[in-house]
Amino acid sequence: MSTPSTDGIFLKNCWYVAAWDYELLDGARLARTVLEKPVVLYRGESGQVVALEDRCCHRGAPLSMGRIEGDCIRCMYHGMKYEPSGKCIQIPGQDVVPDKLGVKSYPVVLKDHAVWIWMGDAARADPALIIDYPPLRQSDQWRGLPAYLHYDANWLLIVDNLADFAHLAFVHTKTLGGSEEYAYTTKPVAIERLADGFRVERWHMNSDPPPFHRKVIPNKNDKVDRRNIGRMYIPGIFFLETTFAPAGQGAEKGGPLPAGTRQYRNCQFMTPETRRTTHFFWNYLHDTDLDDPNVSLSLCNSMREGFHEDKAFIEAQQKLFDADPDTKLLAIASDAALAHFRRTLGQRIAAEQAKGALAAVA
């Protein structure tokens, strides 16, 4: 019943994806726990996106069981009405509403179909800090379907997963990977440590198109030179740039991409629900057959299939850690990116806590 503090567990002063905008269609009041806080998300009648503490200040009923009125929301237990600011502005049967009545309001920004939320100090919630991912809005170049998956695992286990492409060979042999060879014959050509994450690049020359790609291309047996460039940013934002160039045309030399090259842009957003569960958002965007909805759908389904393969491993890891929190793990060479990310994130969380402690005694 007791709730340990989330201090030191999550980075709070940063933007997280809380939802895709399709989740707020038609007056939905979306109940979503973020960093262990209950939040209700909705769009007011003006179109404004609102995020409030999902717990009426009166008796603690969820506002997500409430009713949208204009841009306000009314608790449907005793009728308390709240502004987007969180201020309570009406109590049926009571003439005066004391100023102190209200719920916490969280800064939210709708950008390129993603709803970003700031769970920390609202005064520091600068929308300019939201990481930009142009493919999400460049619909003349990129198309894809936004999607969601829930993980019964800490979000860092998903970050770990994405930090080492070698898992493609074993976990995703028949879906996203294509062959075990990938782990043996290819290596990252670069692992760059960034101030707020990492960048890894890996080539697989003269290879068969992996199954997810094969499904949406006409010449299924032509060899490809495959390049993956992954970039991970704190707190859990991943961009993957994938290129399939016709094999042997020199794509690896860095000039213009050979004719017939197909590209993908993939974003993945990992948002902690609790310390042991995660909201996982993604969109896998393609640059060819933009007007063929079956291509978007096939790729979305292929990714979902692959992520479920990851999920089996990642949730199994979480169960084993739960059963024995003292589990000791041992690093291998390919853990460089993973280790850098966990160290950097730990420093950021520690700095945030120190600043909070200073503020508290000032």
Binding positions for a second copy, rule: CB under 8 A: 1-3, 33, 36, 38, 54-55, 57-62, 65, 74-80, 91-94, 100-101, 160, 164, 166-167, 169-171, 180, 183-184, 186-187, 312-313, 316-317, 320-335
Among residues 63 and 240, whose Cβ is nearest to a second copy? 63
Distance CA 252, CA 126 (A): 39
Q: Residue for token digits 């199954």?
A: 211
CA distances from 351 to 198, 343, 344 (A): 20, 12, 11
CA-angle at 23, arms to 18 and 29, nearest 5°? 85
Among residues 233 and 321, whose Cβ is nearest to a second copy? 321
Among residues 18 and 285, whose Cβ is nearest to a second copy? 18
| Shortest spacing between CB 76 and a second copy, in angstroms | 5
Distance CA 270, CA 232 (A): 11
Quick one: tokens of 79? 């009728």
CB 29 within 8 A of CB 68: yes
| Shortest spacing between CB 246 and a second copy, in angstroms | 26
In order, the DSSP letters of 279-296 are EEEEEEEESSSTT-HHHH
| Shortest spacing between CB 106 and a second copy, in angstroms | 16
| Shortest spacing between CB 57 and a second copy, in angstroms | 5
Distance CA 283, CA 276 (A): 23
* DSSP E strand boundaries for 247-329: 262-274, 277-286
Among residues 287 and 335, whose Cβ is nearest to a second copy? 335
Among residues 36 and 287, whose Cβ is nearest to a second copy? 36
| Shortest spacing between CB 141 and a second copy, in angstroms | 34
Please provide residue 128's backbone torsions phi and psi, each rounded to the nearest 5 degrees.
-65, -15
Distance CA 75, CA 73 (A): 7
| Shortest spacing between CB 140 and a second copy, in angstroms | 39
Among residues 24 and 169, whose Cβ is nearest to a second copy? 169
